[in-house]
Structure 1
Amino acid sequence: MNNSINIKNLKLTALNHAVYIFGVITIIVFSSLSEHFLTSTNWITILRNSTLMLSIGIGLTFALIVGELDLSVGANCRFAASVSALLMVNHGWNPYLCMILMPLLGGFIGLINGLLVTRVKLNAWLVTLSMKLALVGIVVKLTNTVAINMPQEVLNFRNIKIFGLSSFIVFILAVMILMQIILRYSTFGRKLVAVGSNYAAAEKLGINVKNYKLAAFIISGFFAGLGGMLISVNLGSITRELGDGYEFTAVSAVVLGGVSLAGGEGSVFPKAFAGVLILTVIENGLTMMGADIYLFQIAKALIIFVMMYIDSIKNKM
């Protein structure tokens, strides 16, 4: 009996650490293929390229933990960034005010999603997918698919260095740690996990499941908008391709990190962060090798299948 329990525990431990083993193997492979892969310059590039997806991934982690999924995060990122950029460039609004407006707009879209799911009782997948389509249409109408260049006040943030890193990299890493502390140690975070683990039991404990799911959608939207702010600083412009497929890349990343699609399990750090970083490393390594861009899409699909399979095995154990 004890032996079977020990074997089960060993299997569960191996499954829980599979992502880290995969990450180490990935780094070793790309390091052997390119002498430039392990350079400090390349890893700063990897961190910079991961900031947007990390922001979106933080929000998605909260949605997944309560057992829901937000498919509008990519379009929400583009919507928040585009509206704020238009206000800056075409209407002369204060750039710093518009930067703050981006995550607030994202949170507002998350609020609408959450109300439709928790109060109107519509399916989250259909609600957020419909919201995605609506936001894309609104942005196309507002921008006429023309790229919007950020004013100099926004670009100046790229020149600020903290510990040798761009300020927006340090900022999102600090926010990541803060959100993990909230998720892991606050009453709010523990109740979110309880809702995702078993919402019926959570209701019996007096937890308002609807309000906590609503809060998770607002957080998801807020961090999508925050991602728009980060990409504005990083790229210096809002293009018509911004946000396309980001929701699927972010889901791939957080699921790769071990955040469960079934709800009730996951963390911002290290799980979501590890998933985002590994996915960015794979994209960086394939680019360095000159691989076809579509190969990365195939890799993402395979990762989703494998991690969903591992997740289903863990849930059955």
Structure 2
Amino acid sequence: MHNQAEVMSEFLEPSKSETKSKPARPPAFDEFSWIWVGLILLFACSSILAPGTMTQGSILAMLPFAGILAIVSTGQTLVIQQRGLDMSAIGTVSLAGIVMAKTGFAFDSIVLAVILTVCVGGFIGIVNGALVSRVAITPLVATLAVNALLIGCARSLTGTVPINVPTVMQTISHAQFFGLPANVWFALVFVTVAWIITRKTTVGRRFVAVGVNQRAAEAAGVNVLKYRIGAYVASAVCFSAAGMLLAGFIGSASQTSGNDYLLPAIAAVVVGGTPFTGGRGSVVASAAAALFMAQLGQLVLALGAGPAVQLLVQACAILLATTVRYFPGFLRTLRRSRKG
């Protein structure tokens, strides 16, 4: 155990001599880079098969939803990096829009409504994290149970009837800055903050270490519980922000608002290259994959495919992304077996 702790300490705090001794190399084409190739190919295919999806109007209509999906995918990525899974996205996204709308009208302040909604999201994340980390319930079961509770709360607040959203939030969600929808800029903020924290800080290195090996990280003195619960809190905050922006963009909030943001978000994480084994992950790649999934859905719709075909195309995209990610390793193994 002592040796394991020393190894993890070296991982958390890389030595200066090791950093200096390694020559500078160009960034490798890793598993998180394939999504950019996929994006280029997808847009190329879209321009040939359905040129209407590549017009300025079509892209501007797709980007707000891609931005919301990118925010949800960012939260899901952080949880999956901790070997978890947050199935409460549907309930959290839906409830966030409802709470924002209700409190916005009640207090006549969108700022207070946003703060209260984020606090509700944070509490949901604490509950999810505590059930998974403290009570040791499987993430799938724990977050599904919380999701059912959240949907019940949403139905009781709305009476199964969509409610209107304050005009201020609608204006914010429909705004454009420098030619891009506001939802895209919000997504860039969430992705950038998450990327900086996970890649450029000591907290981020410890976060990754916990995802790689919880026991080794704990032996190295890392507060594992804090990082595991923190991942679910960050995830729920992302879901809450997405729910508010979605409600503002649609103009109403209901218990079904978040139905389209669970499986596509998980698909975006997988297509982006983040493995379910924990540790390594990329919120940037997940955000790019969210754009990929949004454009793919628009292409399939433009070709006249129904919902069943859309799900089939999403499944094929996940399988293809997984295959491409592991193909280089398969080739290396095949070469070694031939040499042997």
Do both share a fold (TM > 0.5)? Answer: yes
Tell me, yes or no, if structure 1 residue 267 matches structure 2 residue 282. yes
Match of 1:237 in 2: 252
Mapping of residues 23-172 of structure 1, within 5 Å: 23-89=39-105, 91-158=106-173, 160-172=175-187
Q: TM-score, normalised by structure 1?
A: 0.88
Tell me, yes or no, if structure 1 residue 193 matches structure 2 residue 205. no
Distance 1:14 1:172, change over 3 A: closer
1:20 to 33, 36, 39: 36
The one-letter code of the counterpart of 1:176 is V
Alpha-carbon distance, 1:232 to partner: 2.0
Contact kept? 1:65, 1:196, Cα under 8 Å: yes
Alpha-carbon distance, 1:14 to partner: 7.2
Q: Which range moved further: 182-191 or 297-306?
A: 297-306
Tell me, yes or no, if structure 1 residue 276 matches structure 2 residue 290. yes
Extract structure 1 runs of 4+ deviating beyond 6 A. 312-317
Which deviations, in whole Å up to 9, do the C-alpha atoms of 1:103-149 show, x marking residues without a partner?
A: 22112101111111112222111100111111111211221110111
Q: Which range moved further: 206-215 or 292-301?
A: 292-301
Q: Which range moved further: 137-146 or 240-249?
A: 240-249
Identity of aligned residues (%): 28
Q: Which range moved further: 208-217 or 174-183?
A: 174-183
Mapped to 2, the partners of 1:35 and 1:203 lie a distance apart of 54
Secondary structure of the 2:51 match is coil
| Unmatched segments (≥5 aa) in structure 1 | 1-11
Mapped to 2, the partners of 1:206 and 1:183 lie a distance apart of 19
Mapped to 1, the partners of 2:318 and 2:202 lie a distance apart of 31
The one-letter code of the counterpart of 2:102 is L
Larger radius of gyration: 2
Alpha-carbon distance, 1:239 to partner: 3.0
Mapped to 2, the partners of 1:77 and 1:103 lie a distance apart of 11
Alpha-carbon distance, 1:312 to partner: 6.5
Distance 1:159 1:215, change over 3 A: closer
Q: Which range moved further: 34-43 or 203-212?
A: 34-43
| Unmatched segments (≥5 aa) in structure 2 | 1-27, 334-340
Distance 1:306 1:110, change over 3 A: same
Contact kept? 1:55, 1:223, Cα under 8 Å: yes
Distance 1:315 1:121, change over 3 A: farther
Contact kept? 2:95, 2:255, Cα under 8 Å: no
Contact kept? 2:172, 2:248, Cα under 8 Å: yes
Q: Which range moved further: 273-282 or 159-168?
A: 159-168
Secondary structure of the 1:84 match is helix
Alpha-carbon distance, 1:96 to partner: 2.7
Alpha-carbon distance, 1:13 to partner: 4.6
Alpha-carbon distance, 1:235 to partner: 1.2
Q: TM-score, normalised by structure 2?
A: 0.82
Q: Which range moved further: 304-313 or 96-105?
A: 304-313
Task: Say how many residue pairs are matched.
Answer: 304
The one-letter code of the counterpart of 1:84 is M
Contact kept? 1:70, 1:125, Cα under 8 Å: yes
The one-letter code of the counterpart of 1:172 is A
Distance 1:114 1:37, change over 3 A: same
Mapped to 2, the partners of 1:57 and 1:242 lie a distance apart of 16
Alpha-carbon distance, 1:84 to partner: 2.5
Distance 1:191 1:148, change over 3 A: same
Match of 2:317 in 1: 303
Distance 1:62 1:15, change over 3 A: closer
Contact kept? 2:63, 2:181, Cα under 8 Å: no
Match of 1:7 in 2: none
Mapped to 1, the partners of 2:327 and 2:130 lie a distance apart of 33
The one-letter code of the counterpart of 1:242 is S
Alpha-carbon distance, 1:290 to partner: 2.4
Match of 2:231 in 1: 216
Alpha-carbon distance, 1:313 to partner: 6.6
Alpha-carbon distance, 1:18 to partner: 3.4
Q: Which range moved further: 17-26 or 190-199?
A: 17-26
Secondary structure of the 1:244 match is helix
Mapped to 2, the partners of 1:150 and 1:176 lie a distance apart of 26
Mapped to 1, the partners of 2:241 and 2:196 lie a distance apart of 19
2:191 to 166, 176, 183: 176
Distance 1:42 1:174, change over 3 A: same
Mapped to 2, the partners of 1:191 and 1:310 lie a distance apart of 29
The one-letter code of the counterpart of 2:61 is T
Contact kept? 1:103, 1:229, Cα under 8 Å: no
Alpha-carbon distance, 1:172 to partner: 2.0
Distance 1:28 1:311, change over 3 A: closer
